[in-house]
Amino acid sequence: MDGIDQTLLEAANRVRKNAHAPYSGFFVGAAILADDGNIYAGCNVENAAYPQGSCAEASAISAMLAGGGRRIKRILTTGPGKEPVTPCGGCRQRIREFSDLDTPVICVGADGKKPLFSTLEQLLPHSFGPEFLDK
C-alpha cells in the first residue's frame, strides 16, 4: 500500500476501536479521502433493534458531508480477521452516490496484509446512480 492508503488504514483502524458492536462483535472502520483533501473516518454502530444501526462506510460518508466534503476520491475499509473486509451491498450503493465508478476501494483485514484493490465499478457492476434520475 502507498502512503495515502497507509494513512487511510491508520484512520480507519483508529475509529474501528470505537465501534459499537456488542451484538456481532465485528468491529469495522472506514476512511475516505474526499474532494476537499481531508480524510473522514467512521465506524459501525449496532443497535438492538436491527437493522437500525449504521455501517462504518455510512458513518464515514456522513462525517464527510458534515465536514464539507462532497465526493469520495478514495475509500478504505477494514475489519477483523486476515481477509479483506468489503463494503456490504447497501454501502456499495451509498458509495456510488458520492463517487465515480473508477473510485478506488481498498479493503483489508485488521492486520493490513493481503489488501484487495478494486474500483467501485468492480464491486458494484451495472449500478444505478444519480445520473439516471431526471432531476
What is the structure's pLDDT at 7?
97
Task: Supply the mean pLDDT for the chain.
Answer: 95
Cα–Cα distance, 70 to 98 (Å, whole number):
7
pLDDT one-digit tens code per residue, 46-68: 999 988 999 999 999 999 999 99
- pTM, two decimal places: 0.94
Give every CB contact of residue 90 below 8 A, 6+ residues apart in sequence.
Answer: 55, 58
Catalytic residue from among 10, 46, 57, 121? 57
pLDDT of residue 128 exceeding 80: yes
In the annotation, is 57 catalytic? yes
Cα–Cα distance, 90 to 116 (Å, whole number):
19
CATH topology of domain 3-104: Cytidine Deaminase; domain 2 (3.40.140)
In the chain the first and final C-alpha atoms are separated, in Å, by 39
Cα–Cα distance, 130 to 96 (Å, whole number):
9
- Domain limits of the chain? 3-104
What is the structure's pLDDT at 110?
82
Q: What angle do CA 108, 2, 121 make, to 5 degrees?
A: 55
What is the structure's pLDDT at 134?
76
